[in-house]
Amino acid sequence: MNPTSFHATISLSNGVQMPMLGLGTWQTPDGETASQAVRWAIELGYRHIDTAAIYGNEKGVGEGVRSSGVKREKIFVTTKVWNDAQRAGYDAVLSAFDESLARLQFDYVDLYLVHWPVKGKYKEAWRAMEKIYADGRAKAIGVSNFLQHHLDDLLPDAQIVPQVDQIELHPWLQQKSLTEYSVKHRIVQTAWSPLMQGKIDDVPELKRIARQYGKSAAQVALRWNIQHGIVTIPKSVRRERIAENANLEDFVLTSEDMQTIDGLDSHKRLGADPDNFSF
Ligand code: NDP
């Protein structure tokens, strides 16, 4: 299989196969909007959906997966434990997981993530994640928004190295040293806000490259992630954009294109700073 195909998967350190392209669902309203977006995505070939307890749409996402006509075991579903449960401690993380499963109406998830590194609390949360994994109720466990110093702090106490770190990553914020560190520790990176929260058309270099291939700036940005071996999870609730974001297989960025995009890093965050968030 073409390793840069969106149908391609990447092996997590425990052998679980994670599809390179997934559907993001932050700000996707629960109910019919969420379930319809998920059904469209699955119909268009996506096999990976990203949600979180805090998004408030696990019910709609679960419904979309169940009504898609594709078997549950063929779809990779990620959800995340929110910071309130992490602050409340070990038992609260276990309960939050049960509540997510109940909303999704699943008996397992493919990937469960610690959503943000809450200072002084994430090691305890990680012990609960390891328990969930040991019980077989999450096929893989990982973190999100962890920087190198959080991982350096967590790893000596961890029984299981996080299998994934989901971080903000797009042409303006590339976090290259964190990528190198993650490769070294066999932590697969997932890019959140890969379309820069809809600002992707504001990057002239991407538009220029896109024109050469008859593609969109969004498609170039997603292709750039995948060619770097980074899983990517663009969000849309519109069928035509869900299709556009998956139509990535009829072009390959040259090493020159890749270098041009690599050169756009301006360390500009669109979301919160993992060292300074208050939610
Ligand atoms: P994205 O970078 O995916 O951008 C989504 C925005 O771009 C929406 O406004 C969408 O609008 C628009 N859009 C979608 N497709 C296109 C396109 N082809 N051309 C132009 N605009 C487009 O932002 P997100 O912040 O949603 O990130 C993606 C996912 O990452 C989230 O949905 C969530 O699952 C995850 N995430 C995780 C975080 C974490 O802390 N772990 C934090 C933030 C996000 P429309 O829907 O109207 O098409």
At 99-142, the pLDDT tens digits run 999 999 999 999 999 999 999 999 999 999 999 999 999 999 99
Whether 81 is covered by a domain: the verdict is yes
Closest atom, ligand 1, to C-alpha of 270 = 25
Whether 229 is covered by a domain: the verdict is yes
Least confident range from 4-18, 41-55, 98-112, 215-229: namely 4-18
Say whether pLDDT at 5 is over 80.
no
Whether 181 is covered by a domain: the verdict is yes
| Neighbour tally for 20: CB within 10 Å | 26
Phi, psi of 241 (to 5 degrees): -75, -35
Whether 182 is covered by a domain: the verdict is yes
Q: Give the residues surrounding ligand 1 with Cβ less than 6 Å away.
A: 24-26, 50, 115, 144-145, 166, 192-198, 200, 216, 218, 233-238, 241, 244-245, 271
CA of 157 to the centre of ligand 1 (A): 34
Q: For residue 6, name the pLDDT band (cuts at 50, 70, 90).
A: low
pLDDT in tens, 19-45: 999 999 999 999 999 999 999 999 999
H or E stretch at 143: strand 141-144
Whether 269 is covered by a domain: the verdict is no
Instruction: State the average pLDDT for the chain.
Output: 97
CA of 251 to the centre of ligand 1 (A): 22
Q: For residue 4, name the pLDDT band (cuts at 50, 70, 90).
A: low
Q: Residue 40 belongs to what domain range? A: 17-262
Q: Which residue has tokens 């425990």?
A: 14
Tell me if residue 46 is catalytic: no
Which CA distances in Å does 166 have to 111, 133, 147, 266?
Answer: 11, 18, 10, 20
Phi, psi of 168 (to 5 degrees): -65, 125
Helix (H, G, I), strand (E, B) or coil at 194: coil
Strand partners, 50: 24, 78
Give the Cα separation of 118 and 154 in Å (integer). Answer: 12
Please state at what angle helix 204-213 crosses helix 217-227, rounded to 10 degrees. 90
What mean pLDDT is predicted for residues 7-27?
97
Contacts of 124 (CB under 8 A, 6+ apart): 86, 89, 90, 93
Candidates 6, 195, 215: which one to mutate for ligand 1, based on the most atoms within 8 Å of Cβ? 195
* H runs (alpha helix) in 21-113: 32-43, 58-66, 83-88, 90-104
Q: For residue 7, name the pLDDT band (cuts at 50, 70, 90).
A: confident
CA of 156 to the centre of ligand 1 (A): 34
DSSP class of residue 187 equals P
User: Parallel, antiparallel, or unpaired for β 17-19 and 9-11?
Assistant: antiparallel
Q: For residue 193, name the pLDDT band (cuts at 50, 70, 90).
A: very high
Closest atom, ligand 1, to C-alpha of 167 = 41
Say whether pLDDT at 167 is over 50.
yes
Quote the pLDDT of residue 263.
Answer: 98
Give the Cα separation of 165 and 7 in Å (integer). Answer: 21
Give the Cα separation of 129 and 32 in Å (integer). Answer: 30
DSSP class of residue 186 equals T
Give the Cα separation of 227 and 249 in Å (integer). Answer: 11
Candidates 81, 192, 199, 240: which one to mutate for ligand 1, based on the most atoms within 8 Å of Cβ? 192
Whether 99 is covered by a domain: the verdict is yes
CATH code at position 179: 3.20.20.100
Exposure string (b/e) for 123-142, b if CB count within 10 Å is 16 or more? ebbbebbebbbeeebbbbbb
Q: How many domains does the chain have?
A: 1
Whether 2 is covered by a domain: the verdict is no
Q: For residue 62, name the pLDDT band (cuts at 50, 70, 90).
A: very high
Say whether pLDDT at 1 is over 50.
no
CA of 138 to the centre of ligand 1 (A): 25
CA of 48 to the centre of ligand 1 (A): 15
Say whether pLDDT at 237 is over 50.
yes
Q: For residue 203, name the pLDDT band (cuts at 50, 70, 90).
A: very high
Whether 276 is covered by a domain: the verdict is no
